Amino acid sequence: MLAIAAPFLVAAAVVIAAPHAEEAFLVLRELPPSASIVAGVAVLAEAVSLTAASRATRAFLGPDAPSFRHVLAVDLVAQGVRSVLPGGAATSAGLRISLLRRFDVPVPIAASAATTGVIVSNVVLGALFISGVAMTAWHGRPSPGVAVLVGTVLLLAVAVGLGGAVIARRPDRVREGAMWLTTPLRRAVGHPSEATIFGYVDGLALGMGRLRSVRTLATLLAWVGCNWAADLLAFGLMLVAAGARPPWPVIVLAYGVANVLATVPITPGALGLVEGAAVTTLNVAGVPTSVALLGVLGWRAVEYWLPMLAALVVAPFLLASTRRRSATSPRSRLRDHRLTPRRSYRGWTR
């Protein structure tokens, strides 16, 4: 993992950290003892964030969900994989589905949780980012770059809403469109297979259908909102621990910009993109670069590196737990048979 991430980490250090590393080190040495207490609270807030994310996953899985500790372990391992691979979101989703399948979660439900959960999380993130822009607009006009980013987020939100409605109502048409769009790729490399495409679309359709339940949607939004709010709190506390005192609207904006850019699959875990975006936004708002760098790197330590280390520790125990279970129990096969779409002479049915 570290071998894959090392080149990007070095690039991020050279471009962002190196010019102000000495100043940041001096700031670190001069911090009061109370800074360590604030940083400790930030670590606790990040733990709450991870817990809330797994609670959201378990709430969406419903009665098929494994125990919370197993869901948390699956989420940690999947997040660790996503953090070390460029564009690792797809690999992470596939791994999450595979691990949940070992706990007798039917494949369609596991796929719907892995795909729909990401969509809901990104929608909440977009709302958080736009709220940060709205709050900072009272103190001055946003820069053109931020305005373009807001427009992009709004367009994506509209596209997600329309796409979700189409998938829920006409999954057969979406399957046909997905097959047509992926034809060149499948001819060139042989992937993704027809079964993979149908499974992905059906997982989204099942997930969107389950979101029609007001109770399910409210529970999912509550836990996802808690996830982002706790992570935002950890970000703000790390800035305070570093000696920065920006207003909360600026903190929300910097956090939103960094995490929106983190969805761009260029580097593992968006190394360099997140740090550069957050430090630049804070610096434009008047926070000294060395202080902003120290706070952002402290937050990334608890938001990126600690969960990755936790994934390395948890992975062997999770795999040992799955080996002790039967991944093909009669109950699981029966549910998969009932939930998996099948072909008939009239088309795809359930």
Neighbours of 168 (CB within 10 A): 18
Write down the pLDDT at residue 310.
92
State mean pLDDT over 53-71: 88
How does pLDDT run across 320-346, given as a tens digit for each residue? 887 766 444 545 444 544 444 444 333
> What is the distance of C-alpha 125 from the center of its chain?
9
Highest mean pLDDT among 9-23, 52-66, 193-207, 290-304: 290-304
**For 77-103, how does the pLDDT look when each residue is reduced to its tens digit (9 = 90+)?**
988 888 887 666 667 877 888 888 888
Most confidently modeled range among 33-37, 59-63, 121-125, 148-152: 33-37
Kindly report whether the peptide bond that precedes residue 108 is cis, defined as omega within 30 degrees of 0: no
Predicted pLDDT at 98: 85
Q: Mind listing the pLDDT tens digit for each residue in 7-30?
A: 554 555 556 666 777 777 777 788
Round to whole Å and give the CA distance between 129 and 150. 8
pLDDT score recorded for residue 242: 92
Lookup: tokens for 308:
């990755």
C-alpha pair distances (Å), 317 with each of 45, 106, 150, 227, 311: 25, 22, 42, 25, 10
Q: 116 pLDDT band (50/70/90 cuts)? A: confident
Report the share of the chain in percent with pLDDT over 90. 22
Q: What is the pLDDT of residue 31?
A: 86
Q: How many residues does the chain have?
A: 350
pTM of the model: 0.79
Q: Residue 342: beta bridge partners? A: 349
| Residue 209's pLDDT band (cuts 50, 70, 90) | confident
Nearest 5°: phi and psi at 275? -60, -45
Q: What is the tens place of the pLDDT at every residue in 137-175?
A: 655 555 666 666 666 666 766 666 666 667 667 777 777
Closest CA to 60 of 120, 128, 126, 124: 120
Has residue 124 got a pLDDT over 50? yes
pLDDT for 156 equals 65
Retrieve residue 328's tokens. 């093909």
**Distance (Å, rounded) from C-alpha 131 to C-alpha 233?**
15
Q: How confident is the model at residue 240 (pLDDT cuts 50, 70, 90)?
A: very high
* Band (109; pLDDT cuts 50, 70, 90): confident
Q: 118 or 54: which carries more pLDDT confidence? A: 54
Q: Is residue 75 within 8 Å of residue 310, measured between CB atoms?
A: no
